[in-house]
């Protein structure tokens, strides 16, 4: 479908804002969901005038991670474009992943006489891992012309991005995990599963050997293991796909990372959501499409904090007038997936969706809630359908067939 | 899906009428859509008793042309069966396109010393184009065993159908446009993009040379250019697909053309919509499936004439009793796409749909409107799903699996 859309793209001066309230959808506590409990006068007005519905990120019953959830919102079917674990890990730690890169999840381990004694090196404190990772980063900057970039994670975890001189293509990451999955076994040799993966496997083996040498006096963290080898998914850039100049305004590394995979402009932004909106306003002339990410709704849902999520929804609602003041041609408000506080985690439930746009029926919903969105004119749609709808409303799609 | 359906077909004496109100769906002006504004007592009664919903012709956000819109109504996925530009042009000018044909859009141009001086020959008046095209038709009836059929269009445009002795297959139209796209360049040579296209390219080059000879004293229209080479899409005939004997009752060439691509019986019919209904009544015994096309709702929408579209909807409503009097087993009323008067053109919005049929829930909608159809038992479906639903209601589909 994305290919069909690509063939219909026409440019104009219209602007689209996508406001993602992360983990927006919810479930009832004492009969009312988070959205039903929240006072959201601005969102309710938009919902009553605009086009509403719900969307399903991956498929019925499938709980999406942040990666697939956002890919869908950007119009990339998450079943077609899978983002590898290594990429997600690296992006979550704030590392940029380019089209020339192989990203790998790594962890510190304890080795004795060639046998893995503890696959997690006794779960070192996160500060220790930061120190060890700095040590590796200082001493391993390059192997055989491949640049190494490190990101320290929690406890035993870190990530490595190997930056090759040229793009390798999707096959290049077909390398097995070195983790033997059980203590008491030797690490597995890295074997290339394709011609293109040969150099990746060879360089990675050299990396493991050099790391072991550097770490040899740092037991229990005296070894590293690698898993989740992944390359950039090589999807078309957002601008190539849609002819839109995109700006991502997100304060968390993971969301900037996903945006950068699509070659969006995604600057680091410090401070609260108000600073994100400030930044969007300051760059409004320079772009056509704005992805504005509000994180805290998801965090509260993950914590099982129903009242906290309600409050964060109300906070997000208060920013709507500033977005409307920019007079975007299309304003989309939705989530990347549901995070019901009663479930303390992501879920598979359809996510409420609202489009403020010029060509809608309107007047089918009285509020912006899960139950009211069920009455909406959009019905329950695939998340990847939101992008074509927004493009159509913005006058950016030609007719299909004469 | 169509293959699955084909395997389940069983025949009986049931009859299905599909009434297409072209461009039926609309958007609000002062809060109400065209359907909401119109007085439609007959359609409202059917909607309250029957099964309602909305349908999406090609995909979310995709605005369909008439070709894809109708293919979907006939159960052929328009993303699977694309109708080429040459075919659509020829059909719009009333030319029949058979499975042995290659259809091409042509235009008159001005050439001097081998260079295209004006790609549109100064936009000759339409009458002049009719004369020139008659001249070509008289003098070029056949080249190398290939029959030439001409249709004159508006200004510089005409169409040619090249009828080969045998069907050529879809690859045969892989010939580039001869139009160099800019004045001041020579016409492009026609190059075959496949083995099967070689004869098409060779015959077309001879045609251009003969046309240039005939037109040499008719400057500025002293040359012709060809583009949009296309063959019949080679989809199964409607009768092969469904075991139904189909009659198309349409007064506009484009819709007869699409029907004929599926080998429907599609006679030329003169006069207004009442004459179409007369004709349908007169042939009711002879067929199982009736495609009845009402054009003016779309024309009014295209003109941005909201009140005119309302009136045409009311006119169509008045014919419903005559259709019901025939006691069809299934009566479908819908459009091929939306043409909201406020947009003055086709749009991507879901199209209201009503099935009068024996096995329905009913009583979910109080009127036949966009908003009421949202409450309907069919939900929002793909246009190509209407045909299986109609077949099922007509008792023409066997059980799938034991």
Cβ–Cβ of A385/B66 closer than 8 Å? no
Q: Who among A363, A376, A392 is closest to B348 (CB)? A: A392
Match 């790998």 to its residue by tokens.
A104
A146 φ, ψ (degrees, to nearest 5):
-100, 125
B373 φ, ψ (degrees, to nearest 5):
-65, -25
Q: Who among B60, B67, B69 is closest to A388 (CB)? A: B60
ipTM entry: 0.90
The token pair that represents B206 in the structure block: 């001879």
Beta carbons within 10 angstroms of residue A342's beta carbon: 14
Cβ–Cβ of A402/B33 closer than 8 Å? no
The token pair that represents B182 in the structure block: 């800019």
Beta carbons within 10 angstroms of residue A127's beta carbon: 9
pLDDT bin (cut points 50, 70, 90) of residue A146 is very high
A304 φ, ψ (degrees, to nearest 5):
70, 20
Cβ–Cβ of A401/B67 closer than 8 Å? yes
From chain A, pick out residues whose CB is under 8 angstroms from the CB of B69.
Answer: 401
**pLDDT at residue B167, rounded to an integer:** 84
Residue (of A355, A358, A354, A353) closest to A329 by Cα position: A358
Q: Tell me the mean pLDDT in the region B221-237.
A: 94
Q: Tell me the mean pLDDT in the region B177-205.
A: 95
Q: Tell me the mean pLDDT in the region A370-380.
A: 98
Alpha helices in B78-119 (DSSP H): 85-92
Q: Does B342 touch chain A (CB under 8 A)?
A: yes
A330-334 and A157-163 as β-strands: parallel, antiparallel, unpaired?
A: unpaired
Q: Tell me the mean pLDDT in the region A164-175.
A: 87
**pLDDT at residue B68, rounded to an integer:** 94
Cα–Cα distance between B205 and B192 in angstroms, integer? 11
Q: Does B371 touch chain A (CB under 8 A)?
A: yes
Average pLDDT of chain B is: 96
**pLDDT at residue B75, rounded to an integer:** 97
- Whether a cis peptide bond, with omega within 30° of 0, leads into A220 is yes
A-contacting residues in B 68-127 (Cβ below 8 Å)? 68-69, 78-79, 82-83, 85, 88-89, 92
Res A170 pLDDT > 80: no
Cα–Cα distance between B86 and B230 in angstroms, integer? 5
For A383, name the nearest residue in chain B, comparing CA atoms only: B60
Q: Where are the domains of chain A?
A: 2-81+236-393, 86-231
Q: Which of A316-320, B58-62, B132-136, B151-155 has the lowest mean pLDDT?
A: B151-155
Supply the DSSP string of B164-193, one letter for each residue.
Answer: -SS---GGGG-B--S--SSTTSPPPPP-BS
Q: Who among A360, A389, A401 is closest to B61 (CB)? A: A389
CA A262, distance to chain mean position in Å, is 11
B16-21 and B330-334 as β-strands: parallel, antiparallel, unpaired?
A: parallel
Cα–Cα distance between A302 and A300 in angstroms, integer? 5
- Cα of A388 to nearest chain B Cα, Å: 5
**pLDDT at residue A253, rounded to an integer:** 87
- Cα of B214 to nearest chain A Cα, Å: 31
Cβ–Cβ of A389/B88 closer than 8 Å? no
| Under 8 Å between Cβ of A52 and A389 | no
* CATH code of the domain occupying A86-231: 3.30.70
Cα–Cα distance between A352 and A317 in angstroms, integer? 14
- Give, in words, the CATH class of B2-81+236-393: alpha beta
Residue (of B200, B209, B84, B186) closest to B136 by Cα position: B209
**How many residues comprise chain B?**
402
Cα–Cα distance between A401 and A391 in angstroms, integer? 18
The size of the A-B interface in CB pairs under 8 A is 95
pLDDT bin (cut points 50, 70, 90) of residue A293 is very high
Cα–Cα distance between B130 and B184 in angstroms, integer? 26
| Under 8 Å between Cβ of A93 and A153 | yes
Cα–Cα distance between A324 and A303 in angstroms, integer? 31
| Under 8 Å between Cβ of A20 and A73 | yes
Q: Who among A375, A379, A388 is closest to B61 (CB)? A: A388
The helix (H) or strand (E) run that includes residue A258 is helix A253-261
The token pair that represents B80 in the structure block: 């699977």
User: Going by C-beta distance under 8 Å and a sequence separation of 6 or more, which residues neighbour residue B285?
Assistant: none
Res B124 pLDDT > 80: yes
For B89, name the nearest residue in chain A, comparing CA atoms only: A402
For A381, name the nearest residue in chain B, comparing CA atoms only: B60
Supply the DSSP string of A268-308, one letter for each residue.
Answer: ---S-HHHHHHHHHHTGGG-SEEEEEE-HHHHHHHTT-HHH
| Under 8 Å between Cβ of B16 and B330 | yes
From chain B, pick out residues whose CB is under 8 angstroms from the CB of A8.
Answer: 62
Cβ–Cβ of A401/B68 closer than 8 Å? yes
Match 């009544």 to its residue by tokens.
B281
CB neighbour class for B325 (10 Å; exposed up to 12, middle 13-18, buried from 19): exposed
Residue (of B216, B170, B171) closest to B193 by Cα position: B171
The token pair that represents B259 in the structure block: 């029907």
Segment B232-286, tens digit of pLDDT = 988 999 999 999 999 999 998 889 999 999 999 999 998 899 999 999 999 999 9
**pLDDT at residue B399, rounded to an integer:** 96
The token pair that represents B54 in the structure block: 């909305």
- Cα of A20 to nearest chain B Cα, Å: 20
The token pair that represents B266 in the structure block: 């599609």
- Choose, out of B29, B60, B351, the residue to mutate when testing the contact with A (most A CBs < 10 Å): B60
Tell me which of A76 and A401 has the higher pLDDT.
A76
| Under 8 Å between Cβ of B285 and B261 | no
**pLDDT at residue A1, rounded to an integer:** 87
Q: Does A359 touch chain B (CB under 8 A)?
A: yes
Cα–Cα distance between A284 and A276 in angstroms, integer? 12
Q: Does B30 touch chain A (CB under 8 A)?
A: no
| Under 8 Å between Cβ of B384 and B68 | no
pLDDT bin (cut points 50, 70, 90) of residue A265 is very high
Cα–Cα distance between A316 and A336 in angstroms, integer? 15
The token pair that represents B24 in the structure block: 């039926």
| Under 8 Å between Cβ of A323 and A52 | no
A285 φ, ψ (degrees, to nearest 5):
-70, -25
Q: Tell me the mean pLDDT in the region A152-174.
A: 91
From chain B, pick out residues whose CB is under 8 angstroms from the CB of A382.
Answer: 60
- Cα of A271 to nearest chain B Cα, Å: 36
| Under 8 Å between Cβ of B104 and B173 | no
Cβ–Cβ of B89/A362 closer than 8 Å? no
Q: Does A54 touch chain B (CB under 8 A)?
A: no
Q: Tell me the mean pLDDT in the region B66-75.
A: 95
Helix (H, G, I), strand (E, B) or coil at A114: coil
**pLDDT at residue A109, rounded to an integer:** 97
Cα–Cα distance between B129 and B286 in angstroms, integer? 40
Cα–Cα distance between B350 and B362 in angstroms, integer? 20
Cβ–Cβ of B342/A359 closer than 8 Å? yes
| Under 8 Å between Cβ of A390 and A51 | no
Q: Who among B63, B85, B371 is closest to A397 (CB)? A: B63
CA geometry: angle at B196 spanning B190 and B201, to 5°?
Answer: 20
Q: Does B23 touch chain A (CB under 8 A)?
A: no
**pLDDT at residue B168, rounded to an integer:** 83
Q: Which residues pair with A105 in a beta bridge?
A: A159, A227
From chain B, pick out residues whose CB is under 8 angstroms from the CB of A55.
Answer: none
**pLDDT at residue A402, rounded to an integer:** 67
From chain B, pick out residues whose CB is under 8 angstroms from the CB of A48.
Answer: none
Cβ–Cβ of A400/B60 closer than 8 Å? no
Segment A235-251, tens digit of pLDDT = 999 999 999 999 999 99
Helix (H, G, I), strand (E, B) or coil at A256: helix
Cβ–Cβ of B380/A379 closer than 8 Å? yes
Cβ–Cβ of B61/A402 closer than 8 Å? no
Q: Does A10 touch chain B (CB under 8 A)?
A: no
| Under 8 Å between Cβ of A204 and A104 | yes
């Amino acid at each position: 479908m994305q290919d069909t859309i690509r063939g219909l793209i026409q440019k104009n001066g219209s602007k689209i804002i996508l406001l993602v309230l992360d983990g927006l959808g919810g479930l009832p506590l004492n009969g009312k969901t988070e959205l039903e409990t929240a006072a959201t006068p601005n969102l309710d007005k938009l919902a009553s005038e605009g086009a509403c519905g719900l969307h399903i990120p991956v498929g019925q019953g499938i709980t999406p991670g942040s990666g697939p959830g956002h890919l869908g919102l950007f119009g990339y079917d998450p079943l077609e474009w899978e983002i590898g674990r290594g990429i997600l890990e690296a992006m979550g730690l704030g590392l940029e992943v380019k089209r020339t890169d192989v990203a790998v999840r790594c962890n510190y381990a304890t080795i004795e006489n060639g046998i893995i004694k503890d696959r997690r090196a006794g779960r070192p404190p996160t500060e220790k891992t930061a120190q060890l990772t700095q040590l590796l980063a200082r001493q391993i900057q390059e192997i055989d012309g491949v640049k190494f970039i490190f990101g320290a994670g929690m406890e035993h975890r870190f990530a490595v991005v190997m930056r090759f001189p040229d793009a390798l293509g999707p096959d290049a990451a077909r390398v097995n995990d070195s983790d033997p999955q059980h203590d008491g076994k030797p690490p597995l040799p890295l074997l290339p599963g394709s011609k293109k993966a040969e150099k990746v496997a060879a360089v990675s083996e050299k990396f493991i050997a050099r790391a072991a040498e550097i770490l040899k006096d740092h037991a229990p963290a005296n070894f590293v293991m690698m898993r989740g080898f992944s390359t950039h998914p090589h999807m078309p850039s957002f601008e190539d796909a849609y002819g839109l100049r995109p700006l991502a305004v997100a304060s968390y590394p993971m969301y900037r990372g996903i945006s950068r995979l699509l070659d969006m402009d995604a600057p680091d932004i410090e401070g609260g959501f108000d600073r994100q909106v400030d930044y969007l306003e300051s760059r409004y002339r320079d772009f056509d499409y704005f992805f504005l990410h509000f994180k805290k709704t998801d965090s509260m849902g993950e914590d099982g904090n129903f009242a906290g999520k309600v409050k964060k929804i109300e906070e997000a609602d208060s920013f709507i007038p500033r977005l409307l003041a920019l007079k975007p041609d299309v304003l989309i408000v939705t989530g990347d997936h549901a995070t019901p506080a009663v479930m303390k985690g992501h879920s598979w439930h359809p996510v409420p969706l609202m489009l403020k746009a010029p060509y809608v029926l309107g007047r089918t919903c009285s509020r912006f809630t899960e139950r009211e969105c069920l009455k909406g004119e959009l019905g329950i749609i695939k998340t990847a359908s939101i992008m074509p709808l927004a493009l159509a409303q913005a006058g950016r799609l030609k007719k299909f067939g004469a």
